[in-house]
Amino acid sequence: MSATLADVAAKAGVSRQTVSNAINTPRIVHPATLQRVMAAVDELGYAPNLHARRLRTSSARTIGIRLERHDDGIHGVLLDRFLHAVTEQAAGLDRHVLVFTADDADAEVAQIRSLSQRSLADAFVLTSTDHRDRRIDALAEAGIPFVAFGRPWDDGSAPHSWVDVDGRAGTREATDACLATGERVAFLGWPDGSGAGDERRGGWRDAMADAGLPADLDRAVEDDPAQAQAAAAELLAAGATSIVCASDTLALGAIGALSRADASVPVVGFDDTGVAAGLGFSSIDQNLGAVAAAVLELLHGEPAHRLVTPRLHRRANPRWGLPAQQSAAADGKDAS
Amino acid sequence: MSATLADVAAKAGVSRQTVSNAINTPRIVHPATLQRVMAAVDELGYAPNLHARRLRTSSARTIGIRLERHDDGIHGVLLDRFLHAVTEQAAGLDRHVLVFTADDADAEVAQIRSLSQRSLADAFVLTSTDHRDRRIDALAEAGIPFVAFGRPWDDGSAPHSWVDVDGRAGTREATDACLATGERVAFLGWPDGSGAGDERRGGWRDAMADAGLPADLDRAVEDDPAQAQAAAAELLAAGATSIVCASDTLALGAIGALSRADASVPVVGFDDTGVAAGLGFSSIDQNLGAVAAAVLELLHGEPAHRLVTPRLHRRANPRWGLPAQQSAAADGKDAS
DNA sequence: CTGTTAGCGCTTTCAG
DNA sequence: CTGAAAGCGCTAACAG
């Protein structure tokens, strides 16, 4: 059906091997021959059969990634963006991405083993790592190349490559930016104990300490807009001049509190999801493109790690939560 | 490195062919032999090299899907869920899913051609189809099997398989449910001209007509919470007893209007995203699992189509947007 | 620089 | 029911 190496060789009047060289190592074939071969390739619309190549070279050049189930929204959006970035950049490195699903960590390891052994994928990316992640030891022991997106939150796991976002740097930058509009920068985060959440709170504390200010306006709730709204209301009542949040979900709640209080102070979210764009508040972009690049870089080679610096995506101000009359003014054709 | 068919054959004291049969056509192998072979397989941890198999059988059993770039959030979440469903169900059919990215429709077609020709994937799923979709004619002409998620919005495109969600049925069900709490069911949707939006509005109109009621509380805005809030405020002022929305984004805006007006009427969104779960309003679930099943079913065979009925996911009431004191009552451990 | 030979691991003939 | 032979399309080695 599709043209093969032999067809091209026949058409160009050379051996199959020369065609192979022309494609894989063009610089070792005579320019004139090369041109003739390439012309034949174009004419026949030839593209190599990758199964044959992979069988021969026993390399899949394919990255396996588990698709997580995410009924929660934001988490899913982030992983989706990350997956997109990995896939896009992998293509530039002549690599493909195969996805799979698994119900739990053990099933994921089983899938990875299977894909690896059947040589469908030869490198893997682990997402949503947690304390004492079983997957890490299992894969390290099996000698399967992988990179974790997420730092090892405990020291017990086997040495491995990982990439993570420097949440501390993110909230620090956001806090510094907020200090321009007032000293009473509040933090709205999650209860202690979640690694990422603690990091984010730490960045706010650091920035306040560096500015010689007390880090006293601090509230912790679950990642839920209703709880966040209540907590934010208290922070406003306590005189907050801005609110740095550990997630866009919390920021959404804070915006709600602003709305009810007819207040207007800057709110900064985390993750820069569609909610932040839609409501127009600033948010910290995890910089998943950079994460993806780092992951691909570490996929082959000795265990190493990278901490990616997120970026504050500044937006003017909440457009929502303002009195309806003002909002109505935006009812025109200015939606972008 | 990994065990091969020959290893298993040697271990079991049979020919390679018998091992192949034991794996692919177990019923034609003598039970005793089969058991011996399987024991060897287990012992060696053998799994067939799929490149060799695919090379030999020239079938990839792999579905290609483009990952779209989605800065908008909701759209991304939906496609992500869909991708998850397809991947999960494909695994049950012994098929894999390969993802790729493309900047536009032409690039996508080029990618598909390439993947198909290099035999990395042999069937494709098209998402986000639109009027006069170039991809459809191109793939149909190239004879590459595919199914579109999204109905052909114009009659000009080549005959092909597609699956879509019956948005009309969704809003109709939602409207019927809302009629239980009051006759003045309003609709908050998008401007005319978007196929899906028109369908959703149509379902509301149908339900109102069937109930012998006027479909007069109807507003159209862009998919933006701020605009939605303003429009919803007007609908409330006009006496709406509930608001059916064309998206969760619009519903989010409506909840904001409720909050400002201290009103409490049912709001129904569309897509059942995390926002609906988080804020606790009802929403129409597109039923992407059923869509995925239909897509896989149509992937091979004559052109055909399926219309999947969405389901109303009922939730008690907006938990957010209520006065802060009430919200604060939910500040306990009841987050799920 | 080009051609020949060999074989990656599997499955499809076709004999036994 | 089992075994032997052939070849899917490609590239690593070597010989010319």
What are the distances in angstroms from CA A284 to CA A167, A168, B278? 9, 11, 21
CATH number of residue B182's parent domain: 3.40.50.2300
Confidence class for position A326, pLDDT limits 50, 70, 90:
very low
Pick the last residue of a domain from A145, A160, A175. A160
Predicted local confidence at residue A85, as pLDDT: 97
What is the average per-residue pLDDT within A89-118?
96
Predicted local confidence at residue B73, as pLDDT: 59
Q: Stated in angstroms, how far is A3 CA from C13 C1'?
A: 24
Q: Stated in angstroms, how far is B50 CA from C8 C1'?
A: 12
Check CB contact under 8 Å for B324 and A257. yes
B191 shares its domain with B117:
no
Give the mean pLDDT of chain A: 89
Q: Each residue of B11-69: pLDDT tens digit?
A: 888 888 888 988 888 888 888 888 888 999 999 999 999 999 999 999 999 999 999 98
A152 shares its domain with A171:
no
Predicted local confidence at residue A78, as pLDDT: 85
Within a domain: A53:
no
Q: CA B171 to CA B245: how far, in whole Å?
A: 8
Nearest nucleotide (C1') to the CA of residue B53?
C10
Predicted local confidence at residue B72, as pLDDT: 61
B275 shares its domain with B175:
yes
3-class SS shares of chain B: helix, strand, coil, % to 5: 50, 15, 35
Asked if residues A282 and A267 have their Cβ atoms less than 8 Å apart, the reply is yes
Predicted local confidence at residue B317, as pLDDT: 66
Within a domain: B98:
yes
A143 shares its domain with A174:
no
**Measured between beta carbons, which residues in chain B are less than 8 angstroms from residue A194?**
none
**Measured between beta carbons, which residues in chain B are less than 8 angstroms from residue A100?**
87, 91, 96-97
Q: Each residue of A46-92: pLDDT tens digit?
A: 999 999 999 999 999 999 999 998 766 566 778 889 999 999 999 99
**Measured between beta carbons, which residues in chain A are less than 8 angstroms from residue B81?**
76
Q: CA A299 to CA B289: how far, in whole Å?
A: 33
Q: CA A281 to CA A177: how far, in whole Å?
A: 13
Query: Closest Cα to residue B161, out of B153, B171, B149, B169?
Result: B149
B74 shares its domain with B111:
yes
Q: Residue A21: give the domain boundaries.
A: 5-40
B204 shares its domain with B129:
no
Q: Stated in angstroms, how far is A302 CA from C6 C1'?
A: 35
B105 shares its domain with B209:
no
Q: Strand A267-270 relative to strand B282-285: parallel, antiparallel, unpaired?
A: unpaired
Confidence class for position A321, pLDDT limits 50, 70, 90:
very low
Q: With 80 as the cut, is the pLDDT of residue A333 above it?
A: no
Within a domain: A36:
yes
Q: CA A210 to CA A217: how far, in whole Å?
A: 16
Asked if residues B67 and B242 have their Cβ atoms less than 8 Å apart, the reply is no
Give the residues of chain B that fall short of pLDDT 70: 1, 71-75, 317-336
Q: Each residue of A8-37: pLDDT tens digit?
A: 998 888 888 899 989 888 888 888 888 899
Predicted local confidence at residue B169, as pLDDT: 97
Q: CA A13, A15, A17, A18 torsion: positive or negative?
A: negative
Predicted local confidence at residue B332, as pLDDT: 32
Helices (H), B29-104: 31-44, 50-57, 74-92
Within a domain: A310:
no
- Beta-carbon contacts of B69 under 8 Å, excluding residues fewer than 6 positions away, are A84, B101
The torsion region of residue A262 among left (phi > 0), alpha (psi -120 to 50) and beta comes to left
Beta bridge partners of A219: A188
The position carrying tokens 């919005």 is B153
A71 shares its domain with A134:
yes
Q: CA B97 to CA B217: how far, in whole Å?
A: 45
Q: Does A145 contact chain B (CB < 8 Å)?
A: no
Predicted local confidence at residue B156, as pLDDT: 76
Which of A:1-30 have CB within 8 Å of B? Answer: 2
B22 shares its domain with B78:
no
Pick the last residue of a domain from B100, B127, B160. B160
Within a domain: A202:
yes
Nearest nucleotide (C1') to the CA of residue A15?
C3
Q: With 60 as the cut, is the pLDDT of residue A174 above it?
A: yes
Nearest nucleotide (C1') to the CA of residue A12?
C2
Within a domain: A67:
yes
Q: CA B311 to CA B313: how far, in whole Å?
A: 6
Query: Closest Cα to residue B97, out of A118, A197, A260, A100?
Result: A100
Within a domain: B303:
no
Residue B190 per-residue DSSP state? P
Within a domain: A10:
yes
Pick the last residue of a domain from B129, B160, B191. B160
Query: Closest Cα to residue A190, out of A250, A128, A258?
Result: A250
B175 shares its domain with B225:
yes
Q: With 50 as the cut, is the pLDDT of residue A144 above it?
A: yes
Q: With 70 as the cut, is the pLDDT of residue A188 above it?
A: yes
Q: Nearest CA of chain A to the CA of B66: how many Å?
A: 9
Predicted local confidence at residue A15, as pLDDT: 86
Domain total for chain B? 3
